[in-house]
Amino acid sequence: MQPDHVIIGSGINGLVAASLLALKGRKVLVLEREAVAGGCMRTEELAPGYLHDVMAATFVLFITSPAGAALGPHLARHGWEYCHTSHPTAVLRPDGQAVVLTMDRAANVGTFNTLASGDGDAFAADADRVAADAPVLFALLGQRLWSWPMAKLLLGQARKRGLHGLATWLGQALDPARGWLQTTYRSEAMQALFAPWVLHTGLTMESTYSGQMGRVIAFALEAAGAPILKGGAGQGAQAFRALIEACGGEIRCSVDVDRIIVRNGLTAGVRLANGEEIATKSVLASVTPDQLYSRLLDGVNLPDERASARKFRHGRGNFQLHYALDAPPEWLTPGLDQVALIHLSDGIDAVSKSSNEAERGMLPATPTICVGQPSQLDPTRCPDGKAVLWMQIPDAPSIIKGDAAGEIEGHDWDSVREAFADRLERILARHIRGFDKLIVARKAYSPTDLERMNINLVGGDPYGGHCGIDQFFLWRPFAHSTNGEGPVRGLIHIGASTHPGPGLGGGSGFNAARRLGA
């Protein structure tokens, strides 16, 4: 039976698009080159009974997205269940000082005002401003930009604010995170709470519009927390699969698409690496620009797209370090036991230094570390009385040119992975009593390892490409891009490399499905 739509790639965007189309009665076929569906939603067993989310872990972007609102009730019937904590994030500084963000506005204002007079009130003002701007802000960050609804929204804002007022608002939204934090908060500890989050958007402290992204993240964490999925992110992929199959769709794994078949400028189907051809008039490709134009469309006359793909830049790599523990960690600083995500960082300059070192190809001397405690939210992740803990380093170099600390020798990740993991473990161990005695098992994933697991993670970049403003919004992936649609009719480019960019929001898949009438 010929499918109405073939989706290449089973990451969050491919699964969102397939689900929405299948719910509308369309015949969908998802093709995944790996042995399991889910893309970065992948859960593995590190030791018997210990479940680890190898890559994607936190679903705040999905729970707050249009895709999450549309698909949430359907997914819940297939095992999609959130696990929450009222303490989504914290920062732990080298001297042991910690600042915790809760989901209680009054508590946050009180805590932050004790750090420095007025900081709590400034936080409330920031959050209220994001809430007031939500209609236009979240549209720019999630909806199709080249569309009449977007044009009407911006015209409405121009009438409301005036042209000069709208230009002023847009200009203020371009501020870097360093400028936002240093001019808004007096306490260095308060600045340190939000500084590391900028790295999770693929930006740095000095990047244009990183301040606005930081404000949005702070707002979202307080409002929606940092939920994870019961049983692991892989359970989310299984829920999507069950939903798609219940609607008559199909997901095939271990299937490598070799070509998108194009005839007279129209999509005609796909050819697999084994020679099989599947006819269809609609293909959604959740891949990087290089994969799309250098491989899948090889031989098709697309000189402008191919030239732009060669210039498309990828960002820093990501490093993951996972632990199976014999008991829950005992933090030397009280109040961190129930926090979902803890950053180990000294603040603005420390985050700037580590990301700059990584961008120059150096192993950071003191990396910015994000620590996750999933078993504190979801006890099913490990045996009774045990614990799961992971570290994510969002500023690892894709290509190693040296070590900023001058301690680790080697220029490829396969040779330095464990030494770099040892550096991270030493930093963490300073804050947890007897950490070395808790370790049951440890496994590290370098940027090279992550790319081996997912072809779209080029150089270990989890964000589908550099997220600077020249490759974002209207200009993602290319300056001439228009809603993922190009000169090949019937083909829509989706995924982290397209607007609205990376994360578990499923935005490009949602927009594409809506474009196709779902």
Please, what is the Cα angle at 304 between 299 and 308, to 5 degrees?
A: 105
Distance of CA 353 to the CA centre of its chain: 22
Work out the pLDDT band at 257, boundaries 50, 70, 90.
Answer: very high
Categorize the per-residue pLDDT at 139 as very low, low, confident or very high, splitting at 50, 70 and 90.
confident
pLDDT at 1 over 80: no
pLDDT score recorded for residue 483: 86
- DSSP one-letter string for 276-318: -EEE-S-EEEES-HHIIIIIITTTS--HHHHHHHHH-----EE
Pairing mode of beta strands 266-272, 491-494: unpaired
Q: Over the stretch 356-391, which tens digit does the pLDDT of each residue have? A: 999 999 999 999 999 999 999 999 999 999 999 999
- pLDDT of 324 > 80? The answer is yes
Confidence of residue 294 (pLDDT cuts 50, 70, 90): very high
**Amino acid in the structure at residue 469:** I
Tokens at residue 499, please? 């607007």
Per-residue model confidence (pLDDT) at position 315: 96
Distance CA 231, CA 421 (A): 26
* pLDDT tens figures, 67-101: 999 999 999 999 999 999 999 999 999 999 999 99
Position 137 scores a pLDDT of 84
Amino acid at 97: Q
Which of 213, 143, 101 minimizes the C-alpha distance to 505?
A: 143
Q: What percent of the chain has pLDDT over 70?
A: 100
Residues forming beta bridges with residue 445, ordered by sequence position: 320
Are the C-beta atoms of residues 312 and 477 closer than 8 Å to each other? yes
Q: Tell me the C-alpha distance between 9 and 449, whole Å.
A: 19
- As a whole number of angstroms, the distance between CA 378 and CA 84 comes to 8
**Cα 319 versus chain centre, distance:** 14
Asked if residue 318 lies in contact with residue 450, where contact means CB atoms within 8 angstroms, the answer is yes
User: Per residue in 186-233, pLDDT tens?
Assistant: 999 999 999 999 999 999 999 999 999 999 999 999 999 999 999 999
**Domains of the chain and CATH, by start:** 5-47+56-82+231-312+465-515 (3.50.50.60), 104-224 (no CATH), 313-453 (3.30.519)
Q: What pLDDT, in 10s, does the model give residues 392-447?
A: 999 999 999 999 999 999 999 999 999 999 999 999 999 999 999 999 999 999 99
Q: What percent of the chain has pLDDT over 90?
A: 91
CB 432 within 8 A of CB 329: yes
For residue 271, give the 3-state DSSP assignment. strand
CA nearest neighbour of 372 among 325, 408, 332, 416? 325
Q: What is the pLDDT of residues 95-133, one digit of tens each?
A: 999 999 999 999 999 999 999 999 999 999 999 999 999
* Phi, psi values for residue 104, rounded to 5°: -115, 110
Which of 18-27, 146-155, 436-445 is the least confident region?
Answer: 146-155
> Tell me, what DSSP letter sits at residue 432?
B
C-alpha distances in angstroms, 420 versus 351, 354, 402, 415, 459?
18, 14, 12, 10, 17
Residue 154 confidence (pLDDT)? 86
pLDDT value, residue 146:
86
pTM: 0.96
Residues whose CB falls within 8 Å of the CB of residue 434, separated by 6 or more in sequence, listed in order: 330
Write down the pLDDT at residue 152.
Answer: 87
Report residue 144's pLDDT band, with 50, 70 and 90 as the boundaries: confident
List CB contacts of 384: < 8 A, sequence separation 6 or more.
none
Q: What is the mean pLDDT of the chain?
A: 96
DSSP 442-491: EEEE-HHHHHHH-TTSGGG-TTSS--SGGGSGGGSS-TT-BTTB-SSBTE
Residue type, 348: I
pLDDT digits (tens, 9 = 90+) for 239-250: 999 999 999 999
